[in-house]
Amino acid sequence: MSYCLFCHVSYTDTWSWASLLGLSSAPLLCQPCERKLTLIQGDICRICGRSFSLFPEEYRQGDCCYDCIRWEEDEEWKGVLQQNRSLYVYNDFLKEVIAKIKYRGDAELIKAFYPVAHTNMKSISQNAVIVPIPLSNERQYERGFNQAELFALSMNRNVNLLLNRKTHEEKQSKKTRNERMEKKNNPFVVEEPSKVNGKRIVLVDDVYTTGTTLRYAAKVLIEAKAKNVSSITLAR
Ligand SMILES: [Zn+2]
Ligand SMILES: [Zn+2]
């Protein structure tokens, strides 16, 4: 008997055992909950990993979406984030799941995604330095854990806390795009540049929304001479 990590209903499917044994990449959720998730598969944007099937044709050019083309046309941001890959579409159910983790403190729930993340992200996380996006000190203190750090553990035991946030940052969402893009607004600092130099870095976060946070983090890592920077998120 297993208990769904989201709704706590008990279920007896054999596939949950297969998940625990690493034989299946299904999340540790009951089947009705699992069915509300949409795994990102098939045709995706080469850079940000968004699914093209859920996306109007006019917002893509070749194998890239317009958001990514806009980033890549900007000299300052071109190539800073090599690629992002996300597991699931950020739909209403996943929003609920992430809110439960972040705002109701259900840290265990992130483990529901360990088997899926482990299987699907093996190729990009292998031999890379895994760096979770940090929370601000205040947020970390309030919450008691960083969901990105817990999620990163699904890919690699060797999670490196090489980034930190400057204090007194304004909320990114309150700024205009141009304000967000200014270099002086970069909220991140690299803690130990020697551990970054020449390394392939994979950033981990819960959600890719505009890609700004991940690019800021990638920027300071590139400035610390990382070989390249990619990212993995639970949702896109
Ligand atoms: Zn459930
Ligand atoms: Zn894209």
Of 58-67, 94-103, 151-160, the one with minimum mean pLDDT is: 151-160
DSSP string, 158-217: -B---EEEPSSPPPGGGS-HHHHH-GGG--EEES-GGGTTT-EEEEEEEE-SSSHHHHHH
Least confident of 16-30, 115-129, 180-194: 16-30
How confident is the prediction for the chain on average, in pLDDT? 89
> Looking at residue 27, what is its pLDDT?
83
pLDDT higher than 70, residue 11: yes
Q: The whole model's pTM is what? A: 0.89
**Ligand 2 midpoint to CA 71 (Å):** 9
- How would you classify residue 157: left for phi > 0, otherwise alpha for psi between -120 and 50, otherwise beta? alpha
Please identify every residue whose CB atom is under 5 Å from ligand 2, which is an ion. 45, 47-48, 65, 68
For residue 117 the two structure tokens come to 């993340």
Residue 133 is given by DSSP the state P
What is the mean predicted confidence (pLDDT) over 146-157?
A: 90
Q: How far is the CA of 63 from the centre of ligand 2 (A)?
A: 8
pLDDT in tens, 49-93: 999 988 788 889 999 999 999 999 999 999 999 999 999 999 999
| Ligand closest to the CA atom of residue 61 | 2
Closest-approaching ligand to the CA atom of 4: 1
